[in-house]
């Protein structure tokens, strides 16, 4: 563990035109680097995202042929910065994709890959319906990645609702958690801040959560409000509702401090699960 570093969340509004999305994200990455960011994190599907009535356009490509991956590898090397590509759609076979996050080192090399584990299959009261399992091949492995300053634990969007993943990451050594997202405006307004702060408090980790913003068509909008949260649950930066970027200082010493005060990661105990109960039968 070394001293503090500066992290950034990029908040963009991706479109179906991948070239246009890449260009807009690149401009924001350059600006964040100019502001001193050493770890720059982009949202889920930042390079291509458009919704229609019966489909979501995310621009899947084979990994070696994905233009966003090659472009941002070159940009990481040019800027000498760590980049988290929140996620790209990577082909996983006929009509299947991986929702895959990449950590790129300052020389452009791929330092880590993570495939989203938990899939967003929900029907909201607003009428919005999502079935990620119809397209996405889930991952099956939690991923840690060492940075020069701290250890990173990777996740994507809907993973946020599964605290067991973050506890495993923290107990394995994560000090900083990344949660790139395209969180819906409906669920974001209700739960985004609460869940991210809870994950930080539960694990004693910093949480860096870049989120897309804007209207993507098909009745779907993303929430924005990219957040950086400290290990005590304090929001250090909030990206609001519009495209841009935010930065905050990440001090690994604060992780150790929070965990000394509340060492809950060391307090797990075995316990017996309750037996499942049959639904109560109600008389007429």
Q: Tell me the per-residue pLDDT of 79-119, one tens digit each, with 9 for 90 and over.
A: 999 999 999 999 998 889 999 999 999 999 999 999 999 99
Q: What is the second-level CATH architecture of the domain 5-264?
A: 4-Layer Sandwich (3.60)
Q: Tell me the per-residue pLDDT of 33-56, one tens digit each, with 9 for 90 and over.
A: 999 999 999 999 999 999 876 778
Phi, psi of 146 (to 5 degrees): -80, 135
Q: Looking at residues 232-249, what average pLDDT do you find?
A: 98
- In this prediction, residue 3 carries a pLDDT of 86
- In this prediction, residue 53 carries a pLDDT of 66
Task: Give the tokens for residue 124.
Answer: 């909201």
d(CA 73, CA 75): 5
pTM of the model: 0.95
Q: Is 157 a catalytic residue?
A: yes
The CA angle 92-97-99, to the nearest 5 degrees, is 120
Q: Which helix (H) or strand (E) holds 185?
A: helix 185-187
Q: What is the mean pLDDT of the chain?
A: 95
Q: Which of 44, 137, 175, 254 is catalytic?
A: 44
User: Is there a contact between 161 and 179 (Cβ–Cβ < 8 Å)?
Assistant: no
- In this prediction, residue 134 carries a pLDDT of 85
User: Is there a contact between 210 and 11 (Cβ–Cβ < 8 Å)?
Assistant: yes
User: Is there a contact between 179 and 207 (Cβ–Cβ < 8 Å)?
Assistant: yes
- In this prediction, residue 284 carries a pLDDT of 57
Q: Is 128 a catalytic residue?
A: no
Domain residue ranges of the chain, discontinuous segments joined by +:
5-264
- In this prediction, residue 99 carries a pLDDT of 97
Min mean pLDDT across 17-26, 139-148, 210-219 is at 210-219
Q: Which of 38, 41, 50, 116 is catalytic?
A: 116
- In this prediction, residue 130 carries a pLDDT of 82
Q: Which of 157, 205, 211, 213 is catalytic?
A: 157
Q: Does the structure show a pLDDT above 90 at 123?
A: no
Q: Looking at residues 233-257, what average pLDDT do you find?
A: 98
d(CA 223, CA 219): 13
Q: Is 213 a catalytic residue?
A: no
Q: Tell me the per-residue pLDDT of 164-204, one tens digit each, with 9 for 90 and over.
A: 999 999 999 999 999 999 999 999 999 999 999 999 999 99
d(CA 239, CA 87): 19
- In this prediction, residue 72 carries a pLDDT of 98
- In this prediction, residue 51 carries a pLDDT of 86
């Amino acid at each position: 563990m070394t001293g503090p570093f500066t992290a950034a969340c990029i908040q963009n509004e991706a479109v179906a035109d991948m070239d246009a999305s890449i260009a807009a994200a690149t401009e924001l990455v350059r600006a964040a680097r100019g502001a001193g960011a050493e770890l720059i994190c982009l949202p889920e599907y930042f390079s291509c995202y458009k919704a229609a009535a019966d489909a979501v356009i995310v621009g899947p490509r084979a990994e070696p042929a994905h233009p966003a991956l090659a472009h941002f590898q070159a940009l990481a090397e040019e800027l000498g910065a760590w980049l988290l590509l929140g996620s790209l759609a990577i082909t996983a076979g006929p009509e299947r994709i991986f929702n895959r996050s990449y950590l790129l080192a300052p020389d452009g090399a791929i330092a880590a890959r993570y495939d989203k584990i938990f899939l967003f299959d929900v029907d909201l009261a607003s009428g919005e319906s999502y079935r990620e399992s119809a397209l996405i091949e889930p991952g099956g492995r939690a991923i840690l990645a060492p940075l020069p300053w701290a250890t990173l634990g990777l996740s994507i969007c809907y993973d946020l609702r599964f605290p067991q993943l973050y506890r495993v990451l923290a107990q394995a050594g994560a000090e900083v958690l990344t949660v790139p997202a395209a969180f819906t405006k409906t669920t974001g307004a209700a739960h985004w801040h609460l869940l991210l702060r809870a994950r930080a408090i539960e694990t004693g980790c910093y949480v860096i959560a870049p989120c897309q913003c804007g209207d993507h068509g098909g009745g779907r909008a993303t929430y924005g409000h990219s957040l950086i949260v400290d290990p005590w649950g304090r929001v250090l930066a909030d990206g609001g509702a519009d495209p841009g970027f935010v930065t905050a200082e990440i001090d690994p010493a604060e992780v150790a401090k929070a965990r000394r005060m509340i060492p809950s990661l060391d307090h797990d105990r075995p316990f017996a699960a309750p037996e499942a109960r049959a639904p109560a039968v109600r008389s007429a």
